[in-house]
Amino acid sequence: MRDDLKAEIEKLSRLAGERDAGITLVSPADIVVSQWVRFKCRFGCKGYGKHLSCPPYAPTVEETRRMISEYNTGILLRFDGIPGHPDITPEEIPLDFHPFFRDLILWVNGTVHFLEKTAFYDGFYKAFGFGAYPCIYCEHQHCVAEEQEGPVDESIRRMCRHLDLVRPSMEAAGMDVFATARNCGWELSTIPCKDMEYGKIVHGNITSIGLVLLE
């Protein structure tokens, strides 16, 4: 590994730690991209089509594979817990739980973007980050994708209020987060929900994953 890249990784690791995020290196070859992941977004997720960070606006599986192949180094980020909710119960979680987890989503995606931006201005101009969960930068507003009536295509992205911040989530781009984390030695498990009801998780001991690619 080049000395400048090694030094940059050490710097990003320190900055991630200051934001209470764990870090490990991942080879792009160990980032698993699968078609089934997009099916999970398309069938079963209440956020489908409502956020520009998510399908169908996120990169396709094939686009993601081609993009990853252009990198040699990845930084996998780990975020444990839910800010403000260390001991959550299913009864606390509202039906519309996306805003409820705003602090968690901002923690993950804000850190990913910060590390990407840091690497870019340090001269690693190919740096690119992938976050987690549907975007929630539009506080007190719906994403412009959800506000539109009728069919919405990629051109709506020009109306995004936070073009500089929004990045696709790993899962939205077709990455198998569970398998990728396992390839790095991190074991993840699905989160149990009360009576298997969508979103009604029974504890706050969850792990979120982000990714920053470097070259």
Question: What phi and psi values does residue 166 have, to the nearest 5 degrees?
Answer: -70, 130
Ramachandran quadrant class, 87 (left: phi over 0; alpha: psi -120 to 50; beta: rest): beta
Q: Convert the pLDDT of each residue in 73-112 to its tens digit.
A: 999 999 999 998 878 889 988 888 888 899 999 999 999 9
pLDDT at res. 44: 87
Question: Domain spans of the chain?
Answer: 3-214
pLDDT of 1 > 80? The answer is no
Number of neighbours of residue 3 by Cβ within 10 angstroms: 7
8 Å CB contact between 192 and 90: no
pLDDT at res. 21: 97
Average pLDDT, the chain: 93
CA neighbor of 52 nearest in space, from 141, 116, 184, 120: 141
pTM listed for this prediction: 0.93
Give the C-alpha distances (Å, rounded to integers) separating 68 from 65, 107, 157, 205: 5, 24, 22, 30
DSSP calls for the chain: --HHHHHHHHHHHHHHHHTT-EEEEE-GGG--B-HHHHHHHHTT-TTTTT-TTSTTTSPPHHHHHHHHTT-SEEEEEEEES-TT-TT--GGGS-SS-TGGGHHHHHHHHHHHHHHHHHHHHTT-TT-EEEB-SS---STTS--HHHHS-S---GGGGGG-TTTTT---BTTTTTB-HHHHHHHTT----PPPBGGG-TT-BS-S--EEEEEEEE-
Peptide bond into 86 cis (omega under 30): no
For the chain, percent of residues with pLDDT exceeding 90: 75
pLDDT at res. 122: 97
Over residues 68-77, the mean pLDDT reads 97
